[in-house]
Amino acid sequence: MSLVSELPGRFDPFPLYRELREESPLLLDPAQEVWHVFRYDDVQRVLSEHAVFSSRMRAGREPDQNHLFASSLISTDPPRHRQLRSLVSEAFTLRAVAALEPRIAEIVAELLDRVAGRGSMDLIDDFAYPLPVIVIAELMGIPAEDRDRFKRWSDIVVSQVREYESSPARAAAQQEMAEYFFAMIERRRRDPGEDLISRLLAAQVDGEHLSVMELLGFCALLLVAGNETTTNLLGNAVLTFTEWPGTIERLGAESGALPSAIEEVLRFRSPVQCMFRITTQDTTLGGTPIRAGSRLAAWIGSANRDGRQFPDPETFAVDRHPKRHLAFGQGIHFCLGAPLARLEARVALSALLARLPGLRLAPGASLERIDSTIIFGPRQLPVEWQAA
């Protein structure tokens, strides 16, 4: 079990994933009473069969401000999940997301204007972090001066503490988030606008408005999912492009190849490495009996490197087809924000390649991953290019 405990601290967990897929594809951690799932077929099933593998990790307990996500989409099952998802889905349709492209391009240009003449930057701090934070904050109607608080809260929430555990820092961050969003909800209740929070306040499910905890859960989920995953998708993409010779040159010359490259990054270095579920009944997985009430950790990062599904899985292949990665989840919990993440990545990476010629990882850069079991990406990413 010591091998699994090492995963969150490894910048390159993929060799260990490979070992576990072959030797212990379904591994019980007796200390935490969690089954760890590593092979693609098993992970896909855990993520897909919501009737057996439930997202309600805190079922039977009243949601509170220290567990904001207990009333959110990622922690509910049908029929409530279907009702909640329908309320926010209109904001993330392909048409709605496409309408955001001009503003995203404007933000990208502003961020690059600040650094283009320098010849170097920390890609995370100077670019990959502020872009999605600005986008999601504007969608939610959050003042610009509060964006740094957003980032601090979301970093703590996805920190190395596992989904089914808590910590004083995490509890404090969620309490601060709850108080902030509660005040924001009350302001929007008195003075509604065109932002997503106002729209959620006005929305109804079967003739009833959302509860305060459901509203808070939506806000917290949009905050964290709206910036952490995209920040790390961008960081993972640039790191991967610089590691594989000729990739940056090809993508610069063939703009049509970029969407395919982004999908391969999602497989090769998935921003979300792990999701948690709990069984609702006795079942079997990979031929192993699993009792009702068992907690499972489905390792998406391992599934996406499974050679049974992806030939030559350790190779980054821009032209890989078909693309059956699980980076955005599967089934009813498939990431609602996937179109927005893909759009932000395409616009951002296209501009980076066009405006920063000779983009490369800074020589001698020492890389560490962010402190999280769930989210995966570099903490910093020093890069250089040929400044004009």
Count of residues making up the chain: 388
CA distance readout (Å), 375 to 8, 90, 359, 371: 9, 26, 25, 8
| 27: enclosing H helix or E strand | strand 26-29
Between helix 258-268 and helix 212-243 the angle, nearest 10°, is 110
> Which residue, chain included where needed, has tokens 């576990």?
20
Q: What is the pLDDT of residue 60?
A: 45
- Dist. CA 38–CA 298, nearest whole Å: 7
Instruction: Provide the residue type at 131 as one letter.
Output: L
> Which residue, chain included where needed, has tokens 């899985």?
313
The pTM assigned to this predicted structure is 0.91
Closest residue by Cα to residue 161 from 32, 40, 56, 43? 32
Contact present, 107 and 134 (Cβ < 8 Å): yes
Instruction: For the chain, report the end-to-end CA distance as a whole number of angstroms.
Output: 52
Contact present, 178 and 65 (Cβ < 8 Å): yes
The first and second tokens of residue 315, run together, are 């190779």
Residues 6+ apart with CB under 8 A from 333: 47, 50, 55, 73, 74, 81, 275
Phi, psi (degrees; rounded to nearest 5) at 122: -90, 110
Instruction: Provide the residue type at 121 as one letter.
Output: M
Q: What is the pLDDT of residue 353?
A: 96
Q: How far is CA 41 from the centre of its chain?
A: 21
Per-residue pLDDT of the chain (388 residues; tens, 9 = 90+): 445 667 766 889 999 999 999 999 999 998 888 999 999 999 999 999 999 999 886 544 444 444 566 556 677 777 777 777 777 777 677 788 899 999 999 999 999 999 999 999 999 999 999 999 999 989 888 888 888 888 788 777 776 444 445 567 777 888 888 899 899 999 999 999 888 888 888 877 777 778 888 888 888 888 777 788 899 999 999 999 999 999 999 999 998 999 999 999 999 999 999 999 999 999 999 999 999 999 999 999 999 999 999 999 999 999 998 889 999 999 888 888 899 999 999 999 999 999 999 999 999 888 999 888 888 999 999 999 998 7
Closest residue by Cα to residue 134 from 153, 156, 107? 107
The first and second tokens of residue 192, run together, are 């509604």
Closest residue by Cα to residue 264 from 307, 323, 306, 312? 323
Q: How far is CA 300 from the centre of its chain?
A: 11
For every residue of 52-92, DSSP letters joined together read TEES-TTTTS---TT-GGGGSGGG--TTHHHHHHHHHHGGG
> Which residue, chain included where needed, has tokens 């509910």?
76
Neighbours of 313 (CB within 10 A): 20
